Every structure is written in C-alpha cells, then in structure tokens.
C-alpha cells in the first residue's frame, strides 16, 4: 500500500506574489445554478480542485454535458432529464445538496441522498427544508433519500432563517427565482459567494435584490424565461486568507492577487492586530511583518464576521504569537480537531467547549500530522514551513478538495515543499 503525503522542510520563508483561484464555495453553486438555464452556461475562473470534479459528476448524472477548458467550464443543461443525486456523491461532498433548489425550480421534483454527519459537526439541513417548504415543497424521506415535490407549484413566501446559513440561503435563492410571486429571505447569509450566485441568477433573467444584505427580495419569473449566461467566479477569499496567514507567520512580504480585499475585512483587521502590515489594492492584498506576532481574540461568525474557514490558519498564528489568544468557534461545533495535530507539533492549546486558549510558544517541531479537514490540512502545511525540521502532512485528499495546486503555489513562493508517495516501508 502506498500513500501520498506533503513533505515540508521547516525554518523556511514564504514571499513573492501569488494569484488565488476562483472561490470553491462560489463555483460549486454556480454550477448547480446552471441547471436553471436550460442550455449552455459558460463559467470562468473555476478552480481545478476535486470538489469541482464531484459537482461536475453530479451534473453529468442528471444528464448534463460538461466540458472543461482550463479554468473555464461549459455546462450544457438542455438535456437534463433526471433529478436524482446518489449517496455516493453526496457523501463525498455535502455541497451536492445545492442541486435541490434548482431541481425543484426546474422540474418540481428532486431526489437527493441525505447527507450524513461530517467531521466538522452535525451540519443539518433542517433550515433548507423549512425554507423550501414555505415555498411549497413537500418532503419525504425514502430509503435515505430526500424526495422533494411541488404538487401545487412554487409560490413566494416570507422566510425567516434561524441562522444565516450559507447553503440554505443558496437553495432558497435557486428555488425562489422561479416561484410565483415575491419571496423575502430574512436573516439571509451575507457571504460574497451569495452575492456571486445572485449576480449570476440575475444575469440569467432572475430578479433578486439585496444579496449581500440580511434581507433579500426575490420576485419570481417563469422558469422558462431563465436563460444560460457567461459568468466569472469571484476570487477565493479563503485561499487568499490562507496565503496571508502563511506570510504573517514568516514575515513575507507577500502580494496576494485576484481577490477583493473588502471580502477579507475581518481577517485583515486581525492580522493588523497581530502587528502585520497590510496594504490593499483594488484586487490585491500585500502583507509583511517585522515585529513579533502579538496574541489576539477571534470569534468565528457568519460574514462579515471572522470566517470559520480561516479559524485553523489563525490558530496557527496564535500558537506562535507573544501572549495568550482566545479563539471561539461559533459556526461549527467540532472544528477544533486541528488543535490536536498542532499540539503534536509543540503548540500549547487548551480546548474548553467551543473556546480555545492558545498560549504562544517560541517554536514548533516538524512531525507526522494528519489533515482533519481541508482548512486544517492547509494550515498544517503552513505550520511545517516555520517548524524545526521536516513535517509530513497525511490525508492530503482534504487539501486537494479545496486548494488548487497548493504545493505548486507555495513552491513558487520559495517554500521547500513537495508531494511524495510513500510506500509501506516508509509509512
Ligand atoms: C458553507 C461553506 C463552508 C463554510 C460555511 C460557513 C460551502 C460549500 N461550504 O457551508 O466552507 O464553512 O458555509 O461559512 O459553501 N445548519 C443547520 N441547519 C441547516 C443548515 C445549517 O443547523 O439547515 C448549521 C450547520 O450545521 C452549521 C451552521 O448552521 O453549524 C452553518 O452552516 P452553513 O452556513 O449552512 O454552512 P454550509 O453552507 O454547509
């Protein structure tokens, strides 16, 4: 048996310029939204990552034709004639459930395998269901599948979400654009990826006002009037934040290109609080640091709060900062598994419920560590860059889900990092 790992040599730096790819969390939903266009949608700036491969497979199983040319995709949904997404795909990637909204919108019928729990918490879908029910969707659970039907069509409704769930807001948007009448989504998620999705739906002929704010109004249009469009995916703010964290660790200077700095406002504020120097351009952020990292307090919250998807990367910064930092995770209940791996590298972290008390240490030691999810995996590679000696990061499929050519991009910034296939004797 063999295993591919990422090997990082420590005591290294990370500097130069890097371009981020299109946002994973946006592109996945844009592909799902193309189902509503009944024809050839062209998407640009689609990242080359394995989660996108899964979403392409979801669309192919529904009957779509998908062709790829580098970072562009042509998704032809004219021939879609099925509405089932099997467990095999949903269990690989929970975001597969974002076809639920567009399928009920277009066909009045969807059959999507129920997602199980996952490593970063229970991740329920009750808010998706309650919201869609208000629009006229009826659900049944059948042999592990969620069966959705709209016996009386979709109609507008006033939906108040318990929590600004990203996925629920997106599913509601993709169904309500073709509902009869007006839908109000209150306490909607405000992430930049929601705005990107709403922009694309509007380019297709939908009528959405207020995306990016807590209250979104959707005036439904007839399903047949939505048409395919050509759209460019917004830059990945989480990939950008990951590289910025890497440069904050080593001092930089690093210029991250291809992202709107306003999407990273809270992360930039925290980097500044940790004494990094930041300069923002129209689509770039430059970071450098000369003084020792200073401890801070971080609470993850829905956008525009601090993103949970950058929590691990900033816990790493806290682990090497002067003083004691407190990190509070409010979005996902089990997202501190990364701490255990970092402790194995010499970090001093105590977890109590959803708070982490991080006492800064002078150095970390290279070790064999394991990615527990994709953000944790990316952060472990960064930890290896500043640790003493060599670090081998295992379970790197997690990293490949969400980071395009992570090793190649880090190498271009001067990091001594490579992918290595270990045979059994070396494991
Ligand atoms: C998306 C992102 C993920 C990010 C997260 C929060 C994608 C593919 N993934 O995930 O990277 O970390 O937003 O920014 O876009 N919840 C319920 N019931 C529901 C829906 C959600 O209880 O019906 C809970 C979840 O368990 C979680 C919290 O709400 O604790 C936030 O979930 P949500 O915002 O929906 O995240 P995702 O869309 O799954």
Q: Which residues contact 422 (CB under 8 A, 6 or more apart)?
A: 2, 3, 4, 5, 392
Determine how many CB atoms are found less than 10 A away from the CB of residue 120: 22
Quick one: tokens of 337?
């598994």
Atom of ligand 1 nearest to the CA of 332: 30
User: 3-state SS of the chain: helix, strand, coil percent to 5?
Assistant: 35, 30, 35
CA of 22 to the centre of ligand 1 (A): 20
Cα angle at 298 between 286 and 365, to 5 degrees? 75
Q: How are beta strands 145-149 and 158-160 bridged, if at all? A: unpaired
Residue 400 in 3-state DSSP?
Answer: helix
Query: CB–CB of 357/324 below 8 Å?
Result: yes
Tens-place pLDDT, residues 290-324: 999 999 999 999 999 999 999 999 999 999 999 99
Q: Which residues of the chain have pLDDT under 70?
A: 116-123, 424-427
- Nearest alpha carbon, ligand 1 atom 12: 309
Residue 103 in 3-state DSSP?
Answer: helix
**Chain centre distance of CA 312:** 14
Residue 53 confidence (pLDDT): 97
Answer yes or no: is the C-beta of 235 below 6 A from any ligand 1 atom.
no
Catalytic residue among 48, 89, 114, 118: 118
Quick one: tokens of 160?
């108040």
Q: Which residues is 325 bridged to in the sheet?
A: 358
Determine how many CB atoms are found less than 10 A away from the CB of residue 388: 13
Q: What span, in angstroms and rounded, lies between the C-alpha atoms of 147 and 354?
A: 35
Residue 116 confidence (pLDDT): 64
- Nearest alpha carbon, ligand 1 atom 32: 165
Atom of ligand 1 nearest to the CA of 308: 12
Q: What span, in angstroms and rounded, lies between the C-alpha atoms of 96 and 61?
A: 12
CA of 217 to the centre of ligand 1 (A): 21
Residue 426 confidence (pLDDT): 62
- Nearest alpha carbon, ligand 1 atom 33: 165
Phi, psi of 114 (to 5 degrees): -70, 130
Answer yes or no: is the C-beta of 122 below 6 A from any ligand 1 atom.
yes
Residue 335 confidence (pLDDT): 86
Atom of ligand 1 nearest to the CA of 95: 8
CA of 315 to the centre of ligand 1 (A): 20
Atom of ligand 1 nearest to the CA of 130: 23
Residue 1 confidence (pLDDT): 77
Helices (H), 68-165: 87-90, 100-107, 126-134
- Nearest alpha carbon, ligand 1 atom 17: 124
The size of the chain, in residues, is 427
The kind and range of the H/E element at 317 are helix 311-319
Choose which residue among 29, 92, 98, 123 to substitute to test ligand 1 binding: the one with the highest number of ligand atoms within 8 A of its C-beta: 123
- Token pair 């790197």 is found at 396
Residue 167 confidence (pLDDT): 97
Choose which residue among 134, 331, 373, 403 to substitute to test ligand 1 binding: the one with the highest number of ligand atoms within 8 A of its C-beta: 331
Residue 115 confidence (pLDDT): 82
CA distances from 210 to 132, 206, 217 (A): 19, 13, 6
Residue 124 confidence (pLDDT): 83
Nearest to 159, CA basis, from 179, 139, 144? 179
Catalytic site includes residue 229:
no
- Nearest alpha carbon, ligand 1 atom 5: 166
Query: CB–CB of 302/331 below 8 Å?
Result: yes
**Chain centre distance of CA 93:** 11
């Amino acid at each position: 048996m063999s295993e591919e790992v990422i090997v990082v040599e420590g005591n290294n730096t990370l500097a130069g310029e890097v371009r981020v790819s299109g946002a994973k969390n946006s592109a996945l939903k844009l592909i799902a939204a193309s189902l509503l266009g009944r024809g050839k949608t062209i998407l640009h700036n689609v990242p080359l990552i394995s989660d996108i491969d899964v979403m392409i497979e979801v669309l192919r199983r529904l009957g779509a034709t998908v062709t790829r040319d580098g970072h562009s995709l042509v998704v032809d949904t004219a021939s879609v004639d099925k509405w089932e997404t099997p467990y095999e795909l949903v269990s690989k990637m929970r975001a597969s459930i974002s076809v639920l909204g567009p399928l009920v919108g277009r066909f009045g019928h969807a059959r999507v395998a129920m997602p199980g729990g996952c490593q970063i918490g229970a991740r329920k879908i009750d808010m998706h269901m309650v919201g869609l029910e208000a629009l006229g969707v009826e659900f049944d659970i059948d042999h592990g599948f969620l069966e959705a039907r709209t016996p009386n069509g979709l109609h507008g409704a006033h939906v108040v979400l318990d929590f600004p769930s990203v996925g629920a807001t997106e599913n509601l948007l993709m169904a309500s654009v073709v509902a009869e009448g007006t839908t109000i989504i209150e306490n909607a998620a405000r992430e930049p990826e929601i705005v990107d999705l709403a922009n694309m739906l509007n380019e297709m002929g939908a009528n959405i006002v207020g995306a990016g704010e807590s209250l979104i109004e959707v005036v439904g249009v007839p399903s047949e009037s939505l048409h395919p469009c050509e759209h460019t995916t917004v830059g990945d703010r989480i990939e950008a934040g990951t590289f910025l964290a890497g440069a904050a660790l080593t001092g930089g200077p690093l210029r991250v290109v291809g992202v709107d700095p306003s999407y990273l406002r809270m992360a930039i504020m925290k980097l500044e609080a940790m004494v990094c120097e930041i300069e923002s351009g129209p689509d770039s952020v430059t970071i450098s640091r000369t003084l020792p990292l200073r401890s801070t307090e971080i609470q993850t919250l829905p956008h525009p709060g601090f993103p949970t998807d950058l929590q691990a990367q900033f816990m790493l910064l806290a682990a090497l900062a002067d003083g004691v930092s407190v990190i509070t995770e409010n979005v996902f209940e089990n997202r501190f598994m990364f701490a255990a791996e970092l402790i194995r590298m010499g970090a001093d972290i105590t977890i109590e419920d959803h708070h982490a008390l991080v006492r800064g240490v002078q150095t970390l030691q290279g070790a064999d560590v394991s990615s527990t999810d994709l953000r944790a995996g990316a952060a472990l590679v960064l930890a290896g860059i500043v640790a003493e000696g060599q670090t081998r990061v295992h379970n790197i499929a997690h990293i490949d889900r969400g980071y395009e050519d992570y090793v190649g991009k880090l190498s271009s910034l001067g990091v001594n990092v490579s992918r290595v296939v270990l045979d059994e004797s070396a494991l």
